[in-house]
Structure 1
Amino acid sequence: MPKVRIEKKSRQHNEIAKQGIMFNKDFGQHILKNPMVISSMIDKAALRPTDVALEIGPGTGNMTVKVLQHVKKVIACEIDTRLVAELQKRVQGTPLQQKLQIMVGDVLKTELPFFDVCIANVPYQISSPLIFKLLLHRPFFRCAVLMFQREFAQRLVAKPGDKLYCRLSINTQLLARVDMLMKVGKNNFRPPPKVESSVVRIEPRNPPPPINYTEWDGLTRIAFTRKNKTLSSVFRQTAVLTALERNFKLHCSLHNQELPNDFSIKDKIETILSGVEAEQKRSRTMDIDDFITLLHAFNKEGIHFS
């Protein structure tokens, strides 16, 4: 047993000697080291000298120092205090020091300040919640250039009928225009991750569509639980019927409406679906307009998803 500990310890020492700092896999730390990729991401962000840029997970600052040269200010969000120290050391005593603000902590739990552009090599395990935190952030930002795991990036841009089309695709595309920019191989990182990466550009729709996003999210959550099944089949599930009946009864009580004795939530939902010719549709082939039509039809009849 002691032998294993010694080997492990010496391996760690070798890592520290090689890299100068140990990277924490719990935080998804893979430092982007290729300056060409960094320059390309900065070009795609079309930074302006008056911009405030938000960077998430700056790591050792390879991208940060480049972004600082193009903008008025960089707000860097970093959870690892060791990397914060590295970043501070890197700009100390230079003109860039005054332009850098570091927020220490978990970006998902942090109140984000105003920013014009977001640029980041995103820790992959926070990809989905981070996207929606950014898209629901106000005031609006101009655009975000973000590095994700390749399959996640492909889901963001997937269209109806694509194999990877899912709730993430339609929810993101409702709130933003998303474009795939470039592929980035795993050897561009230190240490290399197990997966390939891609960079996407996200531009929030401003103004956003006139939809209650909580309602929309509730509808797509149900519809995409079984994206290959017909909506008629998906909405016949007991758990779905129970939740919608509870919401409908609440709606009726708030609006002083009496429920008929022979009321059936199942019949009501089937009537709504057939009214917009959606009972045989499947989520995997439905676009944003299809879901907007469906949501309006449900809400008009007092069926709510929040």
Structure 2
Amino acid sequence: ATKLVKGILFNTGAGQHILKNPLVVNSIVEKAALRRTDVILEVGPGTGNLTVKMLEKVKKVIACEIDPRLVGELQKRVQGTCLANKLEIKVGDILKTDLPFFDACVANLPYQISSPFVFKLLLHRPFFRCAILMFQREFALRLVAKPGTKLYCRLSINTQLLARVDHLMKVGKNNFRPPPKVESSVVRIEPKNPPPPINFQEWDGLVRIAFVRKNKTLSAAFKSSAVEQLLDHNYRIHCSLHNTEIPENFKIAQKIQTVLKNTGYSEKRARSMDIDDFIRLLHGFNSEGIHFS
């Protein structure tokens, strides 16, 4: 789907919706609490409404844009001004490139890359101070959802393990050109520094299994043959690394259910378990030699 705005064809299929309301732009800049010495990573600068506002306040903005035509617009906009030497433009797909060093990230993201981009940010080192990100409303609400609520999911718990997440404001669709089909929200993400002392691959492996059917008991969720195969394979590797003999009649299914019972989680459901619950459960599995990555 394309739309013509100000002589540029916007590819709405690629999530190109330009934030046009100056009040919303100012509000985002304010909430980012920018400092004079900051290097800002901006993803999806579009025609630069937010970019120009930030350039006035910081040391440098690194703007990542996938669409060469928009890059041209952005360059034209700062050309010959005192802001030009503070702007660095990177053309390309943000998911496929290494992130540069930055203090804060501000982005009006194409919505279809929301989830992979959040995790790319959260696993990025060195740590950055905060990210102020525009998302589709429902995605934003998932990020901040609490255990026991309808939108609580793997995305919620994984994000909240690694960061503090706050819903800052709602942004109606008529603040964009062309207007998207959905409402939007701005969220602040602050990575926990230092991060929790947890192997994220292991953690995510466990959470993934539990949330495939978040309304099922864990006892039922772990009975899937694919899960049993994976954990059996990992367990055998663990035992061979530690020179542990596996008895002839060994059944991974029994071992899994024993861990669930002993930790007290076999009748619990992922939808109502919090971060501490999953940390305890992961520890229970790991201490019995069962691994998820």
Residue number among 110, 115, 124 corresponding to 1:137 in the alignment? 124
Q: Does 1:52 pair with 2:39?
A: yes
Partner in structure 2 of residue 87 of structure 1: 74
Q: Does 1:164 pair with 2:151?
A: yes
1:170 deviates by 0.1
Given residue 182 of structure 1, which amino acid in structure 2 is its aligned partner? M
What secondary structure does 2:235 align onto?
A: helix
Query: Which is helix-richer, 1 or 2?
Result: 1
1:250 deviates by 1.0
Residue number among 175, 182, 186 corresponding to 2:169 in the alignment? 182
Q: Does 1:107 pair with 2:90?
A: no
d(CA) in 2 for partners of 1:70, 1:296: 46
Residue number among 63, 76, 81 corresponding to 2:63 in the alignment? 76
Partner in structure 2 of residue 229 of structure 1: 216
1:19 deviates by 2.1
Q: Which runs of 5+ in 2 are unaligned?
A: none
1:89 deviates by 0.4
What secondary structure does 1:279 align onto?
A: coil
Partner in structure 1 of residue 190 of structure 2: 203
Q: Does 1:37 pair with 2:32?
A: no
1:262 deviates by 1.4
Partner in structure 2 of residue 246 of structure 1: 233
d(CA) in 2 for partners of 1:45, 1:118: 9
Given residue 203 of structure 2, which amino acid in structure 1 is its aligned partner? W
Q: Does 1:288 pair with 2:279?
A: no
Please identify, of 156-165 and 237-246, the stretch whose mean Cα deviation from structure 2 is larger. Answer: 237-246
d(CA) in 1 for partners of 2:7, 2:55: 23
Q: Which runs of 5+ in 1 are unaligned?
A: 1-7
1:25 deviates by 2.3
Higher Rg of the two aligned structures:
1
Given residue 57 of structure 1, which amino acid in structure 2 is its aligned partner? G
d(CA) in 2 for partners of 1:262, 1:38: 65
Residue number among 291, 298, 301 corresponding to 2:285 in the alignment? 298
Partner in structure 2 of residue 5 of structure 1: none
Q: 1:136-181 deviations in whole A, cap 9, x for unaligned?
A: 0000000000000000000000000000000000000000000000
d(CA) in 1 for partners of 2:160, 2:283: 18
What secondary structure does 1:245 align onto?
A: helix
1:133 deviates by 0.2
1:257 deviates by 1.1
1:26 deviates by 3.4
- RMSD of aligned Cα (Å): 1.1
d(CA) in 2 for partners of 1:71, 1:172: 28
Point out 4+ residue stretches in structure 1 off by more than 2 angstroms. none
d(CA) in 1 for partners of 2:283, 2:90: 41
Give the alignment's TM-score, normalised by structure 2.
0.98
Residue number among 99, 103, 106 corresponding to 1:119 in the alignment? 106
d(CA) in 2 for partners of 1:252, 1:29: 51
Given residue 186 of structure 1, which amino acid in structure 2 is its aligned partner? K
Given residue 114 of structure 2, which amino acid in structure 1 is its aligned partner? S
1:20 deviates by 1.8
1:194 deviates by 0.3
Give the alignment's TM-score, normalised by structure 1.
0.94
Partner in structure 2 of residue 4 of structure 1: none
d(CA) in 2 for partners of 1:127, 1:68: 24
What secondary structure does 2:211 align onto?
A: helix
d(CA) in 1 for partners of 2:26, 2:162: 27
| Percentage of matched positions with identical amino acids | 73
